[in-house]
Structure 1
């Protein structure tokens, strides 16, 4: 994100290819190339970064790092994330922490999504099915005291989007906490 935010992503994608040493733009390219490489190496742990200090271009460095550490296509990573998502439950966490923990795993799984759809209708249907699965997964692992709100959400003819489901559960939990506190006083 930092490299893209600085407008230097072209150094990793070869959109900013290395000009000839005699080109008047070479010094600027060289400076920016090493700046990107520095950002990348400085973002690594010390024991890893020392192995990447001697590449001459940011693209070359990026390709070697991607080759070593990219999990795209790694079925064992997808399997591990799927297991993690199934094991996450609210437990002692508040609803917000529980939801965002789940959401992070879902985002990691989405990273591996490489579906190619023949039609927009199929893609939309798939997205709705995945969203419903996330809603059911979120609701299923909430603590028992939220069963009432889960039943109300599931009982609707059309399910709300996942963000609205989370907001409704969070509001119910907050109201419940306020009412319990009120009952003590």
Structure 2
């Protein structure tokens, strides 16, 4: 600290007052990844479905969204590296690392959590889970295709049946490469993909929906899957109303 000619006090970069202020700003600013909210605690569970041995893909997507919302994704993806012990933010980083590690352990089943207890950073935990449970695309694509081919409405209502299909479609899409190309070929592929979804949805409907199925197939160009779902669920609701009137 030096005093200028006008009596003003100037702090150099090594002044403890200025360094403490930087540290407080980093941990008290709500936009900082080192900021912890009042509701953040080690027992917090970020996602409803814990990681097992077969749901890594959906679990990791849910965790990425949750950690992004908490502004803590950088601790697991490596963009917020481990600081040296003499770094001003070492203490804040250590607290956040322990917090995120606890959140991850709370979000996996007990057997998996026990095998991760001696990892020192949440980044190590994240990478271990990825290396252990990520699967090659081919077996998972085969599984999804097999589920889709055998899925029928059965005792499900239209909404539950469509939701099950949509979940499988979305998971399958996540395993398949996508293109950012906006050329005609990409539009043709999107049209084909929509047609494939419509056909799968219609084929799995119960025979009682044969008439509405035939009506949809007569429409040209083929409607989007969301519009087809809307038409079929309207038919279901009309039948429900008619059934209530007859009672």
| TM-score interval, smaller chain | over 0.9
Aligned to 1:38: 102
| The one of 160, 179, 186 aligned to 1:123 | 186
In structure 2, distance between residues paired with 1:118 and 1:106: 21
Q: Which runs of 5+ in 1 are unaligned?
A: none
Aligned to 1:16: 80
- 111-120 or 148-157, larger mean C-alpha shift: 111-120
In structure 2, distance between residues paired with 1:145 and 1:84: 23
In structure 1, distance between residues paired with 2:230 and 2:187: 23
Aligned to 2:18: none
Aligned to 1:65: 129
What's the TM-score once normalised by structure 1's chain length?
Answer: 0.93
Structure possessing the higher radius of gyration over alpha carbons = 2
Per the TM alignment, residue 18 of structure 1 is displaced from its structure 2 partner at its CA by 1.2
In structure 2, distance between residues paired with 1:122 and 1:59: 40
Aligned to 2:206: 143
In structure 1, distance between residues paired with 2:123 and 2:184: 38
Q: Which runs of 5+ in 2 are unaligned?
A: 1-64
Whether 1:52 aligns to 2:143 is no
Per the TM alignment, residue 180 of structure 1 is displaced from its structure 2 partner at its CA by 3.0
1:1-57 deviation per Cα after TM superposition (whole angstroms, max 9, x unaligned): 221210111111111111111100111111111111110011111111100111111
Runs ≥4 in structure 1, deviation > 6 angstroms?
none
What's the TM-score once normalised by structure 2's chain length?
Answer: 0.70
1:107-147 deviation per Cα after TM superposition (whole angstroms, max 9, x unaligned): 11011022346553322221221111001100111011111
Aligned to 1:90: 153
Shift in CA distance, 100/27, structure 1 to aligned 2, threshold 3 Å: same
Aligned to 2:143: 80
In structure 2, distance between residues paired with 1:86 and 1:5: 36
Contact 2:152–2:205 (Cα < 8 Å) also in 1: yes
- 110-119 or 19-28, larger mean C-alpha shift: 110-119
In structure 2, distance between residues paired with 1:19 and 1:157: 61
Cα root mean square deviation, aligned: 1.5
Aligned to 2:71: 7
What number of residue pairs does the alignment pair up? 183
In structure 2, distance between residues paired with 1:48 and 1:83: 28
Secondary structure of the structure 1 residue equivalent to 2:115: helix
* Structure (1 or 2) with the greater helix fraction: 1
